[in-house]
Structure 1
Amino acid sequence: MINMIQDKLIKWYKENKRDLPFRNTDDPYKIWISEIMLQQTTVAAVIPYYERFINRFPTISSLSKADLEEVYKLWEGLGYYRRAKHIHETSKILMEKYDGIFPNEYEDILSLKGIGPYTASAISSFAFHKSYSAIDGNALRVLSRVFEIKENIALNKTVKMITELSNKLIVDHDSSSYNQGLMDLANMICKVKNPQCTNCPLSDDCLSYKHHSEKLLPISIKKVNHKELSLITGIITYEDQYLLIKNDDGLLENMYGLVQYEVESPYSFISKFEEDYHERLEAVSFIKDYRHVFTHRTWKMHVYHFVSSKPLDHMYTKEELLTLPIPTAHKKIITSII
């Protein structure tokens, strides 16, 4: 069985693979950018971002010379903004340490900022055709079903075990087609719910299909401490200008956002703002409640309109707002109001 699966998978992939812009290249830079964008984001959502980004920054050199704010603006809407900061920093490292040439050794790739084992394996396989298994959630789902692995795939020890199993499959085979075949099979046939087993090229070898456990597997139970924050969020204006503050650190580092506080009322917001910025605001009206879900937290934003009696630092016109990198959580508020 173990000697048949990879051949069937690769054959199926070559006949059915999706036509994706980042597959039509073996440029490690472009593959790296696509893999970072694809973290926690769907392929369909990534494609237009990837094409715009590569069009603007076609090389490591061009990215390394870019202003970080422009990188953030092109990333706007993708979320997980620290990824954008890391690729910008890494592009500079690649210029300084590797003369702008992406390294081809796994350990060197893994040492780069923002690159973990999966991404290092994907680049090694897709760009350099080396025998590394790129094990993400899709690969875990397919392999846990094929081999009827009943351990929790959310645990590191299970991931390690499946990776070792997959590394045996990949030896002396086309690693790129194997890894991308797992991705496409997961996307097109071996889906999270209602897998289309009768159309699967691996159905004859799949133990979970044989034992009717394909709808039970994989077992993926994650312990998540999810926090909900109740925030007063301020649309602060002076005449036709709006106040946005650049975040220096934290969840939305280097992005521009509305001022918000975890306080109990707009009047408490005014007091806190005066304490921080030494200016007094007037509360004008309640606008609307908004909710935005992050991976480990939820913002429940109670949006109020506040007015300043004089212009403040960091105030922007409507036209200027369009040029700033603004996180989705606040952009949906701003675009619905101004």
Structure 2
Amino acid sequence: MQKQLIQWYQQNKRDFPWRKDQDPYHIWISEIMLQQTTTETVIPYYERFLENFSTIEELASASLEEVYKMWEGLGYYRRAKHLHESAQIIVEKYQGKFPYEYNDILSLKGIGEYTAGAISSIAYGKQVPAVDGNVLRIISRYYLLKENIAETKVQKKIYQIVQELILNQDASAFNQGMMDLGATICKPVHPLCSRCPIQKECLAFKNKQTDVLPINIKKIKKQEISYITGIITYQDKYLLIQNPPGGLLENFYGFVQYDVESPYSFVSSFQEKYHQDLIIQAHIKDIKHVFSHRTWFMHVYHFVLEHEIEGMYTLEEIEALPLSTAHLKVLKAYLKFM
């Protein structure tokens, strides 16, 4: 199975910019960006990020706001903060050289077992598993595992299986082969079994269970929040606030929003905090934005101030600020409305 997969990968591997070399810094950046994000989306961000921060030292010495600006629109912004913090750790602790040992890599912020395994195997050729959703799905089907892969104990079981599979093998080609096989052939829905290099011994294929497996039942508690979101202007300037550290969208900029029932309540809440009057101009649009564990329903209104206050920016100035994706939607809706 390993030899068939590795041979298939070497003949069919996808062409990505982070596969041009084995630089651990490049692989690290790509793996963090690829968390929760498609390869097609990541490619331009990856190239732009490395153009601006070509070395770990450059990333470490940049401001967090500069890093966020390069990340703007990619989502899951804590990844960018962890990259920045880890780059500073690497400069201080490892003299700017990406660590070689698996446990040292695993100790960096934002890096779990999968990412540490991917970097260790691809950059350094270490025989370490890189088990992500693709691998869980492939192994579940190949061995006809009828257990729930969302459970930690099942994930550990699959990790041990992969650990045995890569012994004395090209771990880099095996792990990347698994990634490509999961992305292009052993898909979550309607896998392309006729093209699969390991179909012959796949127990799910033999037992006609490929459209049943894997069992992947997650228990998610999702929170829904309704906001009145205010585009607050004075002449050609817009009021923005910066989110505090430690919370959702930390340090990103956005428009003022309150969990209140109407734009009139918004005006009252704004007056309490800023001691300024607002004039309600128009309802712009209702926007839904989905995060991993919560959903925002933003009812966007345009308000006007009687004079300029602190925290107001022109559109040109806003372009240089890291604005959250949710509030980029708000700004675009307003500009289209106007």
SS at match of 1:150: coil
Supply the distance in 2 between the matched residues of 1:262 and 1:179 (Cα, whole angstroms): 46
Give 1:285 deviation, angstroms: 1.4
Matched, 1:116 2:112: yes
Matched, 1:313 2:310: yes
Measured after TM superposition, the shift of residue 33 of structure 1 is: 0.6
Find 2:236's aligned residue among 208, 232, 240.
240
Structure 1 letter corresponding to 2:38: T
Partners of 1:337 and 1:271 lie apart in 2 by 22
Please, which of 206, 212, 216 is the counterpart of residue 216 of structure 1? Answer: 212
**Among 137, 150, 163, the residue aligned to 2:133:** 137
* Match status 1:330 vs 2:327: yes
Structure 1 residue matching 2:280: 3-state secondary structure: strand
The alpha carbon displacement at 1:278 in A equals 2.3
Tell me the C-alpha RMSD between the 2 structures.
0.8
**Cross-structure match for 1:128:** 124
CA deviation vs aligned residue, 1:52-103 (integer Å, no higher than 9, x gap): 0011111100101111111101100100001111111111110001100111
Identical aligned residues as a percent: 58
After the TM superposition, list the runs of 4 or more consecutive aligned residues in structure 1 that deviate by more than 4 angstroms: none
One-letter code of the match for 2:319?
L
SS at match of 1:292: strand
TM superposition shift of 1:289: 0.5
Q: Which residue of 2 aligns with 1:14?
A: 10
Measured in 2, the distance between the counterparts of 1:58 and 1:88 equals: 13
| TM-score normalised over the length of structure 2 | 0.97
Q: Specify the alignment match of 1:296 in structure 2.
A: 293
Number of aligned residues: 334
Unaligned runs of 5+ in 2: none
Cα distance in 1 for residues equivalent to 2:295 and 2:313: 27
Q: CA deviation at 1:280?
A: 2.1
1:271 to 2:268 alignment: yes
Note the alpha carbon deviations across 1:288-329, whole angstroms, 9 max, x for none: 101111111110100011111111111011111111111111
Distance 1:159 1:280 in 2: 56
Do the aligned partners of 2:239 and 2:312 also contact (CA within 8 Å) in 1? yes
Tell me what 1:186 maps to.
182
Is contact 2:285-2:333 (8 Å) kept? Answer: no
CA distance in 1, matches of 2:21, 2:143: 32
d(CA) in 1 for partners of 2:140, 2:318 = 47
Match of 1:285 among 275, 279, 282: 282
- Normalization by structure 1: what TM-score? 0.97
Give how far 1:122 is off. Answer: 0.8
- SS of alignment partner, residue 204 of structure 1: helix
Describe the superposition over 1:100-147 as per-residue Cα deviations: whole angstroms up to 9, x where unpaired: 011110111111111111111111111111011100001111111111
Question: CA–CA distance in 1 between the matches of 2:192 and 2:333?
Answer: 41
